[in-house]
Chains A and B, each alone.
Chain A
Amino acid sequence: MILALVEHDEGAPEELSLESLAMARELATAEGDSLEAVAFGDEADALGDELGEHGVEAVYCVAHDRLERYAPDAWAESVVQLASEHEAETITAPGTDRGREVLARVGASLDAPLATNCLAVDIADDGAYELRRNRWGGSLIEHARLDGEHKLLTAAEHEFPIEPAASTTEPSVSTFEPDLEDDLFAVQVDRVESGDEEGIPLGEARVVVGGGRGVGNAEDYDQLEELAELLGGTVGASRAAVNEGWRPHDDQVGQTGAKISPDIYIACGISGAVQHMVGCKGADTLLAINTDPEAAIVQKADWAVIGDLHEVVPELNEALRDAS
């Protein structure tokens, strides 16, 4: 069987978990195997109906009195015990912090290989998996083979469409009680502190105005802030701008920053390095404002203005103010 780790919010499966279920279901269908799910936490037993729509045949809800707070080694050991009891050779997880770290621990415990960021998986004649996975944040693709007694995979974000299965199943829902030693709780969430949320988070903004090295100094981001405000959006930055100390790292868009998916990304004074572009490839449209007509971002954009952002942006702000 194929065992899929599912994260959920009080019984409602998370989007990335459904995406990784889509990957797991492809494998289950190709191998003629059953697809089963493992979940932790309150109300996991409410997952049955929705996971049934995605072709899951059994849901195992892990129950243990010390698992009230997240503990990655204890989660991993629970998955290992469940996989051993039900002879699961393939285990999948969503491409989230938890999904990846739990599966890496399962991999360490079983000495099994793990392929992260998978885009597509096929089964070769010898039973090994032939897969494609993202490298460099998605600017390169690796074709790889994954072989072993156990095979572990996580799905790349937003690559597998969430679609109901051809036929709905009625999964059995049962409790699984793992046997967990003390040392599996050496790493456990001690407490959760809520953050102070100001403005629109970058990942959710409909409009993002990005500023790069071309902005030249911290003060001139005021112009970009104003543009963002006029459009109901938020400001992002390139790593170069963050390294200069002009913007906080929270504003960084790219491979080691935020991934954005606005209706429009307005990139001002940004050259278009691949590590920046993988952060904004989710944008519907891209407008570049750059002095250099040869800049890579001008190739990649839908629209471009060749010019100094310090002249273009204030005029644009004025026109937008007049228009409203």
Chain B
Amino acid sequence: MKVLACLKRVPNTGAKIVLTEDEQRIDTSGLGFTMSPHEECAIEEAVAQVETHGGSAHLLTLGPPEADEQLRTGLAMQADEATLLETDDEEWSPRATADALADGIDRLDDDEGFDLLLFGNESADAANYQVAVRVASELGYPCVTGIKDLEVEDGTAIARREVSGGEEVYEVDLPAVVTVKEGLNEPRYASMRAKMQARRQEIESVEPRAETRAGGLEKVRLEAPETDDSPAEILGEGPEAVPKIVEILAEEVEVV
């Protein structure tokens, strides 16, 4: 079985987000980078499915040259191959991203195509909720979204999505696109040795292709919303604060 996982490099913001002066992006000086937890689960699932069924696990991202760092994170989790659709550092619109990924998948797809294409349910930064659906449509594959439980048996994916009071179950024939949520599995920790090996592995860099269209969804600027930074009322240090906590719970919040 050939499995693909798509991931996106994003800044690893901490307790406060600072924007660049032109308000076009997050100021990443001093920040590390990461990917969405959903996508970590997609990679884990790709690797685990290949461990069960045999085959190979591939990774794909559209991003700047530095996005090889996130691909290497996935390689260290035992994915077999990784491809970078290399951009300058500008973020692409969801339609252009989907075009480029679909085209990239086509080009990766020698004779034996992918059986399962895994995406995050939404990207960590943009949360467009659509790149995977558009890729599936371009490739003509069925797509199930928001999946937290997945089994693959005899060419069928059995996928479960949480709904209020239970789960709805989908059974789709492979090849299929599946978007996943954190909680699907527990992504493995890569060993030191695997990380070292991943550092030496070759990553194929390919020029992305996308259709150009007028209009669409275009970012104008970003805004960091006002947060209430008035400091908390300090009730005390250690257990001496307990009587005050009880008072608040009883009188202000009225939960005792």
| Chain B residues whose CB sits within 8 angstroms of the CB of A115 once the complex forms | 217
Q: Can you name the residue of chain B whose Cβ is closest to the Cβ of A145?
A: B218
Q: How far is the CA of A319 from the CA of B246 in the complex (A)?
A: 8
Q: Are A104 and B183 in contact (CB under 8 A)?
A: no
| Chain A residues whose CB sits within 8 angstroms of the CB of B213 once the complex forms | 111
Q: Are B232 and A302 in contact (CB under 8 A)?
A: yes
Whether A144 is near chain B, meaning CB under 8 Å from some CB there, is yes
Chain B interface residue bracket vs A: 35 or more
Q: Are B166 and A311 in contact (CB under 8 A)?
A: no
Within 8 A of A (CB), among B210-256: 213-225, 227-229, 231-239, 241-243, 245-246, 248-250, 252-256
Whether A54 is near chain B, meaning CB under 8 Å from some CB there, is no
| Chain B residues whose CB sits within 8 angstroms of the CB of A113 once the complex forms | 93-95, 215-217
Q: Can you name the residue of chain B whose Cβ is closest to the Cβ of A130?
A: B220
Q: Are B235 and A147 in contact (CB under 8 A)?
A: no
Whether B104 is near chain A, meaning CB under 8 Å from some CB there, is no
Within 8 A of B (CB), among A135-150: 135-148
Q: Can you name the residue of chain A whose Cβ is closest to the Cβ of B186?
A: A245
Q: Are B168 and A192 in contact (CB under 8 A)?
A: yes
User: Given A189-B169, A311-B239, A107–B215 Cβ distance below 8 Å?
Assistant: no
Q: Are A143 and B223 in contact (CB under 8 A)?
A: yes
Chain B 66-102 interface mask (CB, 8 Å, partner A; 1/0)? 0000000000000000000000000001110010000
Chain B 118-146 interface mask (CB, 8 Å, partner A; 1/0)? 00000011111110011011100011111
User: Given A100-B129, A117-B127, A274-B17, A312–B232 Cβ distance below 8 Å?
Assistant: no
Q: Are A97 and B161 in contact (CB under 8 A)?
A: yes
| Chain A residues whose CB sits within 8 angstroms of the CB of B138 once the complex forms | 108
Q: Are B166 and A305 in contact (CB under 8 A)?
A: no
Chain A 92-111 interface mask (CB, 8 Å, partner B; 1/0)? 00000100110011011101
Q: Are A302 and B233 in contact (CB under 8 A)?
A: yes
Whether A190 is near chain B, meaning CB under 8 Å from some CB there, is yes
14 examples of A-B residue contacts, CB within 8 angstroms: A104-B129, A107-B130, A108-B136, A134-B127, A139-B225, A140-B225, A187-B142, A195-B165, A245-B186, A257-B182, A264-B249, A301-B232, A307-B239, A319-B246
Q: A101-B145, A101-B146, A142-B221 are in contact. List 9 more A-B contacts (CB 8 A).
A: A108-B130, A108-B134, A136-B127, A148-B214, A190-B171, A285-B253, A302-B232, A319-B245, A320-B246
Closest 10 CB pairs of A and B: A296-B15, A147-B215, A108-B137, A249-B183, A307-B238, A104-B133, A104-B130, A194-B166, A304-B232, A301-B232
Residues of B within 8 A of A (CB): 13-17, 26, 36-38, 93-95, 98, 124-130, 133-134, 136-138, 142-146, 160-163, 165-173, 181-183, 186, 213-225, 227-229, 231-239, 241-243, 245-246, 248-250, 252-256
